Amino acid sequence: MSRADADQLKVFAGRSNQELAKRICEELDIPLGQGRTELFPDGELLVRMDEDVRGRDCFIVQSTCDPVNANLMELLIFIDCLRRASAKRITAVIPYFGYARQDRKDQGRTPITAKLVANLITTAGADRVLTMDLHAAQIQGFFDIPVDHLSAAPVMVEYFRSIREGLGEIVLVSPDIGNVKVANMYADLLAGDLAIIDKRRSSGAHVEAVNLIGDVAGKTVLMFDDMISTAGTVCEAARIVKKHGALDVIASATHAVLSGLAGERLAASPMERIVLSNTIPFDSRVDPIKDKTVQLCVGRLFAQAIHRTHHDQSISALFKMGEGTKR
């Protein structure tokens, strides 16, 4: 990138995922933007720009992960700060989009919070949104500004192809019916068979898997999902396929939400490896499974999208592998 281009392109980092922002800037060969967030004693946030952004193309990297509300508020304040500092264009880079599971009214008198968050980001002054593996792909339509929806599939596929020889015969297992498109996409990309677990959820915290469609005996099972949250579904699926004769089980997810007792559940599960991206930074929640966890970096993918956006080039090639979204 030329010096003139680098001067016009600015990438800033909120507090939620500064390491990923640094990796993005390394790929772009530009310094991380000089901005900082200060916390007042009463809990209020203040964002300061320590460099000129007037007329610049600005990108803010901020995952709205735990603490979700604090990170979301920081993103909104960051956007407002850049808008008032006369940035030419502001793109909210949200590797993990919180509230994505509240995308519809599934019962009476409940909100559609994903739409509310989209409205807040737009009202704050963002011109574009760049995100990855939304839990519900239709959230793109909640925004009245352009949304570029990346998939972590290229990064995941590159890793699994690098270890493909040692996996033997593989089968891609969908841990539930809603994830069949994702499993089928990876089955095509990795030349594996497909199997499906039919499950019944008896409550929000308890999942009971009851049937396996397909053959896993003597094979290495790979399971892909957009996120691992409480880990109930993936752990139960791992137990089911092991019971049906699977040799090894490897789970992979874009977002390491790992809420509640997820770490302990995964540690006690028969999975030998858990592959996660760095859309959400690793912290103490990963400690119980650190010996069997592999972290993949999506910094290059985001850097390519930012570069193409800055130069007004098409980025559709970057999400050709993302056609197997959950919904």
DSSP string covering 7-37, please? HHEEEEE-SS-HHHHHHHHHHHT-PPP-EEE
- Beta-sheet pairing, 220-228 with 207-213: unpaired
| Fold agreement between 3-151+299-322 and 153-296 | yes
Per-residue pLDDT, 326: 58
Name every residue whose Cβ is closer than 8 Å to that of residue 83 and which is 6 or more positions away in sequence. 90, 124, 125
Please report the pLDDT score of residue 3 as a whole number: 60
Give, for all 327 residues of the chain, the pLDDT tens digit: 656 566 799 999 999 999 999 999 999 999 999 999 999 999 999 999 999 999 999 999 999 999 999 999 999 999 999 999 999 999 999 999 999 999 999 889 999 999 999 999 999 999 999 999 999 999 999 999 999 999 999 999 999 999 999 999 999 999 888 889 999 999 999 999 999 998 665 555 555 647 899 999 999 999 999 999 999 989 999 999 999 999 999 999 999 999 999 999 999 999 999 999 999 999 999 999 999 999 999 999 999 999 999 999 998 878 766 666 655
* Pairing state between β 57-61 and 45-49: unpaired
Tell whether domain 3-151+299-322 is in CATH 3.40.50.2020. yes
Question: If DSSP codes are grouped into helix, strand and coil, which group holds residue 69?
Answer: helix
Given phi > 0 = left and psi -120 to 50 = alpha, else beta, which region is 226?
alpha
Marked catalytic residue, from 22, 115, 181, 199: 199
Q: Give residue limits of the domains in the chain.
A: 3-151+299-322, 153-296
pLDDT of residue 205: 55
pLDDT in the model for residue 316: 85
199 is catalytic: yes
Where does residue 298 rank: exposed (0-12), middle (13-18), buried (19+ CB within 10 A)? buried
Q: What CATH architecture applies to the domain 153-296? A: 3-Layer(aba) Sandwich (3.40)
Please state, as a whole number, how many other Cβ atoms lie within 10 Å of the Cβ of residue 294.
13
Instruction: Starting at the earlier edge strand, list the strands of the sheet with 89-94.
Output: 9-13, 57-61, 89-94, 128-132, 147-150
Reported pTM: 0.93
